[in-house]
Every structure is written in C-alpha cells, then in structure tokens.
Chains A and B, each alone.
Chain A
Amino acid sequence: MGLMTRWKNRILASLGSRYPAFARWLSSGYDPLSLEETPWAPVDFRVSEARLALVTTAGVHHRSQKPFDMNDPDGDPEFREINGAAIADDYTITHDYYDHRDADRDLNVVFPLERLRAMVQAGVVGGVTGLHYSFMGHIDGRHIDTLVRQTAPDVAERLQRAGADAVLFTPG
C-alpha cells in the first residue's frame, strides 16, 4: 500500500472520529464475518472474585515490538503480547483506521488497564492478569482465516495460561 493510500486511510479515520455519522456511513459498506452460533462460556463467579485480562483491537503495542502491518490492504492478523507492568510507560499505537490521538494521550481510552487496577484496589474487580493481548482491528480478506484458525486460538490458549477468568474486549 502506497503512502497516498495510508494518508487517505488516516484522513478518513480522522473524519470518522470527528463525525460519527460519517463513520457509520463508512462502516456500513463493510460486511463482517457473520456467525450463526455464538460460542458461550458461562460465568459462575462474581467479577469481584475474578482475574480479568484485556484484549484490544486498537493496535496498541510496546515500542520495541514490530509495528502492525499498515501496508497490506487486508490488514494484519497477528497479535502483540502486552506486559501489563510495563505498558503504561512504554506504548505506541499502530493503526491507520481510526484516529488515535486521544488514545495516544491516555491509553485508558482504548486499553483501560490503569482503571482496572483502581477497581482491583477498591475490591470491585478480583485481579488482573500480568499479560494482555492486542490486535490491529483491520483484518480482512485472507487474513480472517488466519485470525480464526491460528492467532485467535493462540491468544485464547495464552489467556488461559495467564490465568484469566474473564476477558474484556475493546475496539479502536
């Protein structure tokens, strides 16, 4: 994808964040994966007793990690592992498809780990895992299969190993 296309994506993203009606019009042209049956894991605990993990599609990652691929028009189905202890002081966002200037200023806008920690401190959330996971939410074409068959199951296994009782998903 050329520089011009990346600029166009950023301009559309900026307009979409400023004018929600424009964003809805933009997104109405996209046909996402449609599931007939929703996978279901029951909740048999209170959130105040549960250890939570975050998974975001907002393109957050550590500065030392490889940025998400912004040149492939179908996006990037890979994920980045987020170290909860370090992310507040060491993050960047690679995602041309939404305007992340506010999230650049306050990560909690898309990845509310600091807020979750305050809730843990107050006893309304049981705990948070040490590791969390991040995707860049523009995943299309051939990459959907990679996401569904490889990277999403990989993240699910990692979340189990991290001891997550429940997961909060946040978009960009």
Chain B
Amino acid sequence: MGIPTVGISIVREYSEKVRPPRTVFLKWPFGHPLGEPFREDQHFAVLAQAFNALEAIQKPGEIWDLPFRWRRQQYLPPAWKSP
C-alpha cells in the first residue's frame, strides 16, 4: 500500500500531463508555491486547501484550482489561530 499524496502545482499543464493523484493549482509565480515570504496567513490558507483536497479528492488525477489572487487576496488568520 502506498502513501497518499497531495501536491501544490504552479504549472497546471504539467499536472494535467503527469497526473499526480491529488493537486491544488495556484496561478502564482515560480518559486512561490506557498506564497510570499513571512506571510503566515497566506501559507496557512494554501496548506488548509491542500489538506482539504487530500481528504476530499476521490478521483485520481483531480486538480483543484484555488481562487487565491496572489497579493490582491485578503488572507484571514485561520480559525484555529483565533484567541
């Protein structure tokens, strides 16, 4: 039995061809799969979506297009960070 995986992609065409089991895609610059340096809430937002995809995707090769608009997106702190 293998280990379940989920991947972050920033080149959708590659993921469509390689067809890894579960993918979240971001139309973001190379070198920034989690976002910008020191933007914790942005990183947590991407990770939360990746883990949602890990739990939810049932169809091998499925790609979720995440709606985050790079710097124009407002990234709220995750609920678990609230006091």
Residues of A within 8 A of B (CB): 13, 16-18, 20, 23-24, 27-28, 30-35, 37-43, 46-47, 55, 58, 98-100, 102-103, 105-106, 108-110, 112, 115-116, 118-119, 122-125, 156, 159-160, 164-172
B34 touches A109 (CB 8 A): yes
Main SS class of interface, B: loop
Question: Given that A32-B18, A47-B54, A108-B43 are contacting pairs, would A41 and B31 also be in contact in the complex, using a CB cutoff of 8 Å?
Answer: no
A41 touches B4 (CB 8 A): yes
A16 closest partner in B (C-beta): B30
B7 closest partner in A (C-beta): A169
- For the A-B complex, the count of residue pairs with Cβ-Cβ distances under 8 Å equals 158
Residues of B within 8 A of A (CB): 1-11, 13-14, 17-21, 27-38, 40, 43-44, 47-48, 50-51, 54-55, 60-61, 78, 80-81
Residues of the B chain whose Cβ atoms lie less than 8 Å from the Cβ of A42: 4
Add 14 more A-B contacts to A18-B29, A34-B17 (CB < 8 A): A13-B30, A17-B31, A23-B11, A27-B14, A32-B18, A34-B19, A38-B19, A38-B60, A42-B4, A43-B4, A100-B31, A109-B32, A109-B33, A171-B7
